[in-house]
Amino acid sequence: MLLLLVLRPDYASKSTQERVIVSYLPAIEIEPKIKADASVIWLHGLGASGYDFEPIVPELNLPENAAIRFILPHAPSIPVTVNGGYIMPAWYDILEMDIDRKIDESQLLQSATEVHKLIQRELDRGIASERIIIIGFSQGGAVAYHAALTYPEKLGGLMGLSTYFATAQTITPNPVNKHIPIQVHHGSLDPVVHEALGRKGYDDLLALGYEAEYFTYPMEHQVCLEEIEAISAWLQRLL
């Protein structure tokens, strides 16, 4: 975890200072060629890291004047039950690989809180909340859904890639993001997160009153060129 020491006045005693330690997920940050005025926080999948999506950023072929900072955080390494307790990068533990993916929801909520802290850091850097977009792939997408839909300030967009809506039945969305732009992308040949789960997540979004778009590609659990082009077009339209 990246640690940041923040000093602020102790209003009970003007002669002392309270030390507040704020910890952030370690992350790769890709800065634009000009001063950033927008941010994309992009969460990776199970067993991966932020480095997985680093080479995709230049493939987006964004224009020279796109002032978008990309933040690619790394999940902590924890034991994953369905993988025999093997320790690997994960946003939360997966307990059973059934159709609904039995998970450790408390860990997912903690990961969503960590994403909220990254959003707050972007606000502190001068990025307006409406110009912050959350993207998540696979397990990271489940966290992205929860983090974006519960955030207390209006965000710029939410995108789920080859993922599922793990907390659809328990989430208490914040109404401030009721009209957040949402896109869902999934591979029709995905053997890891079957498209039925992606489609169910999309249907759950609609049932909660969101206006989401759904796209599918003839691919497995991956990202394809056509999808990258669609992501680029969406980012340029929103930011």
- Residues 138-150 have pLDDT tens digits of 999 999 999 999 9
Concerning whether 185 is annotated as a catalytic residue, the answer is no
User: Are 163 and 146 within 8 A, CB to CB?
Assistant: no
Put simply, whether the predicted model's pTM sits higher than 0.85 gets the answer yes
Q: How many CA atoms lie within 13 A of 115 on its CB side?
A: 35
* pLDDT above 70 (res 171): yes
Break the chain into its structural domains and give their ranges.
26-238
| Tokens representing residue 144 in the block | 């992205």
- Residues 173-223 have pLDDT tens digits of 999 999 999 999 999 999 999 999 999 999 999 999 999 999 999 999 999
Which of 206, 226, 204 lies closest to 215 in space, CA to CA?
226
The CATH T-level fold of domain 26-238 is Rossmann fold (3.40.50)
Concerning whether 44 is annotated as a catalytic residue, the answer is no
Query: Distances from the Cα of 105 to the Cαs of 136, 171, 216, in angstroms?
Result: 17, 11, 27
Q: How high is the mean pLDDT of the chain? A: 92
Phi, psi angles (nearest 5°) of residue 171: -65, 145
| Tokens representing residue 181 in the block | 């732009």
Q: Which residue in 138, 162, 185, 186 is the catalytic one? A: 138
Alpha carbon distance 161, 138 (integer Å)? 6
Q: Which residue in 104, 116, 194, 221 is the catalytic one? A: 221
Interval 15-19 mean pLDDT: 50
Query: pLDDT class for 9, splitting at 50, 70, 90?
Result: very low
Strand partners, 137: 161
Predicted pLDDT at 97 = 80
* Residue type present at position 30: I
* pLDDT above 80 (res 36): yes
Query: pLDDT class for 2, splitting at 50, 70, 90?
Result: very low
Identify the H or E element spanning 192. Answer: none
Concerning whether 203 is annotated as a catalytic residue, the answer is no
- Torsion, CA 169, CA 170, CA 174, CA 177, rounded to 10: -30
| Tokens representing residue 46 in the block | 């199970």
User: Are 29 and 123 within 8 A, CB to CB?
Assistant: no
* Residue type present at position 92: Y
- Residues 110-143 have pLDDT tens digits of 999 999 999 999 999 999 999 999 999 999 999 9
